[in-house]
Amino acid sequence: MSFTQLLRILRGRARWVVMALVLGGAAALLITELTPAQYTAQAALLVSLPNGGGQTNAAMPAELYSGYMATQLDLMTSQEVATRALKDLNVSGAANTKRRQRLENAMGGPISNAIGSVRGFFSNLFSSRKAVNEADAGSADQLLADRLRRGVQAANGTNSSVVNVGFTSSDPEISRDVVNAFVKAYLTTSLALSVGPAKNHAQWFDDQTKGLAQNVESAQSDLSNYQQKHDIVTSNDQLDTEMSRLQELSAQLTAAQTKTYDLKSKQQEIQHFLTAGGDAGLIPDVLANPMVQGLREKIAEQQSTLMDLRGKVGPNHPEYKAAVSELASLKRHLRQEIQTVGQSVNASLAAAKAQEKSLSNATAQQRARVLSLRRSRSQLDLLKSKVQNAQNVYDEAMKNMSQARMASRSTNTNVSLVSAAVAPARPSGPSLAKNLGLGLVVGFILGIGIALGRELQDRRIRAKEDLRDGLGIPVLAVVDMVAGRRRTANTRALGGRRLRLSVDG
């Protein structure tokens, strides 16, 4: 069928097309009228990059910046933040039934609102006869938190650190309260994630410093006992070459021990993430790994694709299942890469321990050599060196522990509230123009379908091409009805028209 034939069919069946257009427009108007007004509340957050060394957003590579922002957007709409926000909304318990019903009604459509009203009526009617099951209430809270999480939109502009958090419902006050609750829950969760590793670090150093303090006390006790035994008050002898070598090895041993402590701390942080979860982006070695950041960006893109597919196709669609499978594969790959980082840290820790052991053995051998050279007064210097080494390690551990404690007690985050959400005065939807335009487009498509269907049921000859193409016979002449100027008896019978004969060559 050519385009010209389609136009002739639509012109001949114009009334069906017009009826379909009217029907589509009327349906759009009816849907717009029945759909309750939707109100969108928004809040703005300024997310700054963690910059222990004074690094700014502009100084960070683009791939690391986008990965960090994608992680923050995922955190804002995570189940943990949604659960905290639901608690802050204070909709749990029998005393808050009406507030919870108002929240659920604001999140649903007309049918959902009607069902919610009936459910609320019977719930209030039988509340005095039937106790609420705490397990069921907890499950309901999780479902409601998941609905809130899926309803909150968090997005930032290209290369922008300002994140807009929005929520749409039929109640402007509910939209405002939900956005503010999510913002507050995100700030609390972000602070907990940033302070949590520091607390674990501080606790680990606290345990280590106890043993180091005992080492210092033991070394000082040995020095004091030796001085009393040999009646030595002080020693001003200069260290010879062997003593200088001993000090060098002692310094290297101290550095190796400090490095070992740092690597053990990193190992515990990675093991804590692999077992208990958390934000792997807060671990420096993971943050510096380009493969991990690339996978996190791919996961963010895949999650965005999955959300798009969720609105276009159903969960049983092959494309949707493939996207889910791809997302799971990326997450597994990410975990494997983090495990690879952990293996690298383990390898570095093993090398550091080997180096520490080697330096410890070398130091012991050097100490024995010096003892053989300085049997009396050099023994005092050795004991002093032992005390100094133990004191240096202890001081370094105490310094790190103090820094970790300061970080664990911090109440500041790298997120600032730019503007809190307010109850919107005007609805954001539904859009009459958008619905009407969509209804007219659907109506026009439906009209074309009806016109073609009617044409298939009742074929008509509308032009000479229809005879030639449909019957496969030549057209000798065409008789047209042409309006005449002079009305004769014959033309009156033809409705005021006369025949015109044209012969095809």
* Percent of the chain residues topping a pLDDT of 70: 73
> Do 90 and 99 contact (CB within 8 A), yes or no?
yes
Cis peptide before 430 (omega within 30 of 0): yes
Residue 21, CA distances (Å) to 29, 235, 277, 433, 443 in order: 12, 107, 55, 15, 4
- Is the predicted pLDDT of residue 165 greater than 50, yes or no? yes
Surface-to-core class of residue 421, CB atoms within 10 Å of its CB (0-12 exposed, 13-18 middle, 19+ buried): buried
Q: Using 50, 70 and 90 to split pLDDT, how confident is the model at 203?
A: confident
Q: Which of 425, 417, 427, 423 is nearest to 182 (CA)?
A: 417
Average pLDDT of the chain, as a whole number = 75
- Is the predicted pLDDT of residue 210 greater than 50, yes or no? yes
> To the nearest 10°, the Cα dihedral for 305, 308, 313, 315?
60
- Is the predicted pLDDT of residue 486 greater than 80, yes or no? no
Can you tell me the mean pLDDT for 311-330?
79
> Do 440 and 24 contact (CB within 8 A), yes or no?
yes
Surface-to-core class of residue 318, CB atoms within 10 Å of its CB (0-12 exposed, 13-18 middle, 19+ buried): exposed
Integer Cα distance of 405 and 418 in angstroms: 29
> Do 446 and 208 contact (CB within 8 A), yes or no?
no
Q: Angle at Cα 196 formed by Cα 262 and Cα 167, nearest 5°?
A: 140
Integer Cα distance of 185 and 244 in angstroms: 58
Surface-to-core class of residue 237, CB atoms within 10 Å of its CB (0-12 exposed, 13-18 middle, 19+ buried): exposed
Can you tell me the mean pLDDT for 352-363?
86
Q: What are residue 47's DSSP bridge partners?
A: 415
Q: What is the pTM of this model?
A: 0.46
pLDDT at 284: 61
- Is the predicted pLDDT of residue 96 greater than 90, yes or no? no
3-class DSSP assignment, residue 171: coil
3-class DSSP assignment, residue 488: coil
Integer Cα distance of 229 and 235 in angstroms: 15
* Window from 8-12, 457-461, 501-505 with minimum mean pLDDT: 501-505
